[in-house]
């Protein structure tokens, strides 16, 4: 059963961002499944690295779209993105520097919180509706 799933409650009213959020959630699900499915550390880290690379691309695209719209909360949103990236990096590096063979539960909780607070509660503010 999937842990990270796209839900209509995540719809931000901008199809290009919805598509990227769907992909983001798919990458999170890949991390989760590799972590729970007995994949090697290297496979888990590769999935985490893929997620991290896409997050950077997504944040860049989202901020550019918000700038084009003249979104008034862009500076604050950029700071939220910077904080999310810092937290993501901290979790990733802690795992990379450990001997653990699975990501800790707090990493999955962080990803879940990201979906439920950032996408659902924050990103919906730039919705044109």
CA distance 21 to 11: 9
CA angle at residue 52 from 46 to 56, to 5 degrees? 145
85, 56 Cβ separation under 8 angstroms: yes
Cα separation, 6 vs 103, whole angstroms: 22
In this prediction, residue 126 has a pLDDT band, given cuts at 50, 70 and 90, of confident
pLDDT at 127: 80
HEC profile of the chain: CCCCCCCHHHCCCCHHHHHHHHHHHHHHHHHHHHHHCCCCHHHHHHHHHHHHHHHHHHHHHHHHHHHHHCCCCHHHHHHHHHHHHHHHHHHHHHHHCCCCCCCCHHHHHHHHHHHHHHHHHHHHHHCCC
- Flag whether pLDDT at 2 surpasses 80: yes
Domain boundaries, the chain: 22-126
Question: How does pLDDT run across 75-125, given as a tens digit for each residue?
Answer: 999 999 999 999 999 999 999 999 999 999 999 999 999 888 888 888 888
Residue 129 has pLDDT above 70, yes or no: no
Read off the pLDDT of each residue in 5-21 and give the average, rounded to a whole number: 93
| Record: fold of 22-126 | 1.20.120
- Check residue 119 and give its pLDDT: 86
- Position 124 scores a pLDDT of 83
Question: pLDDT at residue 128 above 80?
Answer: no
Contact 82, 63 (CB under 8 A): no
pLDDT, position 1: 80
- 31-85 pLDDT tens trace: 999 999 999 999 999 999 999 999 999 999 999 999 999 999 999 999 999 999 9
Supply the pLDDT for residue 54. Answer: 98
Nearest-Å Rg of the Cα atoms of the chain is: 15
What is the per-residue pLDDT for 51? 98
């Amino acid at each position: 059963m999937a842990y990270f799933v796209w839900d209509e409650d995540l719809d931000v009213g901008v199809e290009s961002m919805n598509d990227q959020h769907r992909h983001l959630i798919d990458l999170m699900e890949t991390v989760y499944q590799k972590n729970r499915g007995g994949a090697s550390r290297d496979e888990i880290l590769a999935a985490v690295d893929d997620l991290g690379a896409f997050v950077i691309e997504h944040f860049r695209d989202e901020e550019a779209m918000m700038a084009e719209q003249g979104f008034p909360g862009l500076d604050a949103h950029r700071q939220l993105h910077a904080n999310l990236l810092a937290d993501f990096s901290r979790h990733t590096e802690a795992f990379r520097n450990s001997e653990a063979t699975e990501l800790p539960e707090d990493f999955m909780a962080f990803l879940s919180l990201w979906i439920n607070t950032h996408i659902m509660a924050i990103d919906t503010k730039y919705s044109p509706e």
